[in-house]
Amino acid sequence: MKILVTGGTGYIGSHTVVELQSKGFEVIIVDDLSNSSIDVLDNIAKISGKKPLFEKFSLTDPEKTTAFFKLHNDIRAVIHFAAFKAVGESVEFPLVYYRNNILSLVNILQGMIDNNIRDLVFSSSCTVYGQPDTLPAREDTPVQKAASPYGNTKQICEEIINDTSQSANIHGILLRYFNPIGAHETAFIGELPLGVPNCLMPYITQTAIGKRPFLRVWGDDYDTPDGTAIRDYIHVVDLAKAHVTAVERLTGEKCKKNVEVFNLGTGNGLSVMEVIKSFERTSGLKLNYEIKERRPGDIVKVWADTEFANKELGWKAEKTLDEMTGSAWKWEQALAKRK
Ligand code: WQD
């Protein structure tokens, strides 16, 4: 069964390709390599023994997307990761984000409809919840007005999929990720942030490897036990496995609605300080950090209600925080050896 993975050379995409291949799926990746490297294909093959098919183009190009689907008329389902995802950058360049993230989805859906491909897994984000009034966040927790154009593109894309599933034969599973961190245990693939990392985990590992002088902890005066903000960190491999489960649910006719939504988290809220402590435990290093002002736009705390994903989707995160921080550190060290 051939699965199209858009954005498949990216962080979550590459880990999902490895899990798909290990379950016997054939994978074709489309990626414009704007935020990833073509070397990822060989590194995926080092893990799975099979180099995925690959085509490089932007899904914002309708002609190229149409031609792609005509050529590959044996695609059974699509997992759509391809999108820009830096919150701060989306505030600076909103049109770049709306054009890329929304046009790509529209062209993918058109290609699916034109070629009778029904099943779509969409990469969404817990960002859609903003700061929930009640925790843990459930799938029916109200979606709040997005705090960034990036978050808004995720909300708009969810609505586009819902509307399209009413009018065409499209079945969708929307996966709302919490905070993916960590890397594959082989350290052949991992998070490859270009430039200065926005996210916590890569900034910690780059500080520890000596690329950054210290980690800036954005605020320790929040209404939380240790004053630092709380998130639901989830191992990227657990997240990748959920995508395979979602594809099997769709292709196995197990969906109960045309569009289903699942939160992908561990259900455990962890503070910045708890992540730092875990990193120090697993790396054996003392992390250099300084407490700074809060980062504008940050929410205080969010973690997932995992019951629906555990019971209905039949998926549960298994890896611990120490496995997350330990694998992230192993990956950073492997990166340093490559240069
Ligand atoms: C986590 C915590 C920071 C960096 C974002 C996007 C979300 C998703 C994941 C794409 C916060 C603190 C961070 C640093 C810090 N991206 N922090 N120092 O903001 O929860 O989510 O990334 O889908 O859509 O919003 O993740 O890793 O940036 O921050 O103190 O150098 O770590 O303040 O409390 P976030 P993050």
Which 3 state secondary structure label does DSSP give 124? strand
Q: Tokens 């929040």 label which residue?
A: 222
CATH of 200-230+267-333, one of 3.90.25.10, 1.10.287.3510, 3.60.15.10, 3.40.50.11540: 3.90.25.10
Task: State the pLDDT at residue 108.
Answer: 98
Task: State the pLDDT at residue 193.
Answer: 82
CA nearest 80: which of 180, 165, 154? Answer: 154
Task: State the pLDDT at residue 194.
Answer: 84
Task: State the pLDDT at residue 178.
Answer: 98
Class of domain 2-180+234-264: alpha beta
Residues of the chain with pLDDT under 50: none
List alpha helices for the chain, DSSP H.
Answer: 11-22, 39-48, 62-71, 87-92, 94-114, 149-167, 200-209, 236-251, 272-283, 307-308, 321-338
Domain segments of the chain as ranges: 2-180+234-264, 200-230+267-333
Q: Whose CA is nearest to atom 1 of ligand 1?
A: 200
The 8-class DSSP code of residue 10 comes to: S
CA 329 to chain centroid: 19
Instruction: Tell me whether strands 171-177 and 259-264 are parallel, antiparallel or unpaired.
Output: parallel
Task: State the pLDDT at residue 296.
Answer: 87
Distance 25 CA to ligand 1 centre (A): 32
Distance 138 CA to ligand 1 centre (A): 20
pLDDT digits (tens, 9 = 90+) for 171-192: 999 999 999 999 999 999 999 9
Query: What lines the ligand 1 site, CB under 6 Å?
Result: 85, 87, 125, 127, 179, 198-200, 203, 215-218, 229, 231, 272, 295, 298
Q: Whose CA is nearest to atom 36 of ligand 1?
A: 199
**H-helix or E-strand containing 5?**
strand 2-6
Task: State the pLDDT at residue 88.
Answer: 86
Q: Is the dihedral of CA 231, 145, 245, 15 positive or negative?
A: negative
Distance 244 CA to ligand 1 centre (A): 26
